[in-house]
């Protein structure tokens, strides 16, 4: 059996660990062969692949990024995109495909599965926002980076008696801001799921400064003020219709500074959250997902995604995976305990 492997969408630490696991398990346990598809769905359309063996994946466990490359190419938005992917699949001589991605990449996988392609999904995204799995590959490393940044901001905030605002990724879901913020000891956390009231935020900061001289605010890039709109960079959209976000921290810096009179500074963590060596937790999750994906392929089970449920690896239909999983009240209520 010959399996193609692709990685699509925004990269994250742990992709290489997942690729390695699929290949090592597939070769050793099931005698499979592998083709690495370059740059996500772009490589499927262009039949752009290369042979991957045990040697190719040797030493990549600890490396961030993806040895396969990634893109945000969306065949479902192209004329004959589905046919082109199937053509590419046949040209590459594949029997099945492992797609490692977030909601966009796996959304395409779900569409391709409906068109008859044998595909298995592995969930990854630093955003941790895929329904059907409690964790995605990349999230653990991202929040560990966020916590490191908050720790650093704490010391300089304290020295200069400032309000420090840290903007993190999270377009529709505030998992990075909420869990990173809780673990880093943030004083205010603003997320897309909970439109915020700027007056209330400023009131809370002023009250805090009656006993403390600094404040750490963590804000997700997709957070919005009540009645306001999301902060976008330049209005450009990718092939999945997403605008580039970023800059809400700069807006907050001005508003909070003017309204409270405290010195305020903003930092945007950006793609630093997507880089670096994966944490042990991400390596383990990617490895478990990869080994399971190879097993499922050997059992001819397709149209599904591997997922984490109650610390067990299970499978769910690809269709159920591609909806957003947002931060629920149980998490935000924990975060709020530490506000102010
Ligand atoms: O989808 C993951 C993500 O990191 C989002 O949190 C963020 O909005 C987006 O990717 C940024 O993508 P790009 O690589 O196109 O800048």
Task: Report the pLDDT value the prediction gives residue 67, as an integer from 0 to 100.
Answer: 98
Residue 68, pLDDT > 90, answer: yes
**Do 2-138+278-321 and 141-273 show the same overall fold?**
yes
Q: Domain 2-138+278-321's class? A: alpha beta
Q: Whose CA is nearest to atom 8 of ligand 1?
A: 171
Q: Which is catalytic among the residues 103, 104, 127, 319?
A: 127
Kindly report, residue by residue over 119-161, the tens digit of the pLDDT.
999 999 999 999 999 999 999 999 999 999 999 999 999 999 9
Query: What is the value of pTM for the model shown?
Result: 0.96
Ligand 1 atom closest to the Cα of residue 170 is 6
Per residue, the 3-state secondary structure of the chain, as one string, reads CEEEEEECCCCCCCHHHHHHHHHHHHHHHHCCEEEEECCCHHHHHCCCEEEECCCCCCCCCCCCCCCCCCCCCCHHHCCCHHHHHHHHHHHCCCCEEEEEECHHHHHHHHHHHHCCCCEEEEEECCCCCECCCCCCECHHHHHHHHHHHHHHHHHHHHHHCCEEEEEECCCCCCHHHHHHHHHHCCCEEECCCCCECHHHHHHHHHHHCCCCCCEEEEEECCCCECCCCCCEEEEEECCCCCEEECCHHHHHHHHHHHHHCCCEEEEECHHHHHCCCCCHHHHHHHHHHHHHHHHHHHCCCCCEEEEEECCEEEEEEHHHHCCECCCCHHHHHHHHHCCC
Kindly report, residue by residue over 257-306, the tens digit of the pLDDT.
999 999 999 999 999 999 999 999 999 999 999 999 999 999 999 999 99
Q: Residue 297: CB within 6 Å of ligand 1? A: no
Q: Residue 129: CB within 6 Å of ligand 1? A: no
User: 141-273: which CATH number, 3.30.230.10, 3.40.50.2300, 3.40.50.460, 2.40.30.10?
Assistant: 3.40.50.460
Q: pLDDT grade, residue 241 (50/70/90)?
A: confident
How do the domains of the chain map onto residue ranges?
A: 2-138+278-321, 141-273
Q: Can you tell me the mean pLDDT for 237-262?
A: 92
Q: Residue 245: CB within 6 Å of ligand 1? A: yes
Q: Whose CA is nearest to atom 1 of ligand 1?
A: 10
Q: Can you tell me the mean pLDDT for 49-69?
A: 98
Q: Is residue 127 annotated as part of the catalytic site, yes or no?
A: yes
């Amino acid at each position: 059996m010959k399996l193609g492997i692709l990685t699509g969408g925004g990269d994250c630490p742990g992709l290489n660990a997942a690729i390695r696991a699929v290949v090592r398990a597939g070769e050793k346990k099931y005698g499979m062969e592998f083709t690495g598809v370059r740059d996500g769905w772009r490589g499927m359309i262009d039949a752009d692949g290369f042979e991957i063996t045990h040697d190719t994946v040797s030493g990549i466990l600890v490396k961030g990024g993806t040895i396969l490359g990634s893109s945000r190419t969306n065949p479902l938005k192209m004329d004959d995109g589905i046919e082109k992917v199937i053509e590419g699949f046949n040209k590459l001589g594949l029997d099945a495909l492992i797609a490692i991605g977030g909601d966009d990449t796996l959304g395409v996988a779900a569409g391709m599965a409906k068109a008859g392609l044998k595909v298995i999904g592995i969930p990854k995204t630093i955003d941790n926002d895929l329904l059907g799995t409690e964790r995605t590959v990349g999230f653990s490393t991202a929040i560990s980076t966020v916590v490191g940044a908050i720790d650093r901001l704490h010391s300089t905030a304290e020295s200069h008696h400032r309000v420090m605002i840290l903007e993190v990724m999270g377009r529709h879901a505030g998992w990075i801001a909420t869990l990173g913020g809780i673990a880093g000891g943030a004083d205010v956390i603003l997320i897309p799921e909970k439109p915020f009231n700027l007056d209330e935020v400023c009131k809370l900061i002023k009250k805090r400064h009656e006993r403390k001289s600094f404040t750490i605010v963590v804000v997700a890039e997709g957070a919005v003020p009540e009645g306001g709109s999301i902060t976008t960079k330049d209005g450009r959209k990718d092939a999945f219709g997403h605008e580039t976000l970023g800059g809400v921290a700069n807006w907050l810096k001005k508003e909070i500074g003017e309204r409270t009179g405290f010195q305020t500074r903003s930092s945007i963590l950006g793609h630093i959250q997507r880089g670096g060596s994966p944490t042990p937790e991400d390596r383990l999750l990617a490895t478990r997902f990869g080994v399971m994906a190879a097993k499922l392929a050997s059992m001819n089970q397709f149209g599904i995604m591997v997922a984490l449920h109650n610390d067990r690896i299970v499978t769910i239909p690809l269709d159920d995976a591609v909806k957003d999983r947002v931060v629920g009240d149980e998490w935000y209520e924990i975060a709020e305990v530490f506000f102010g």
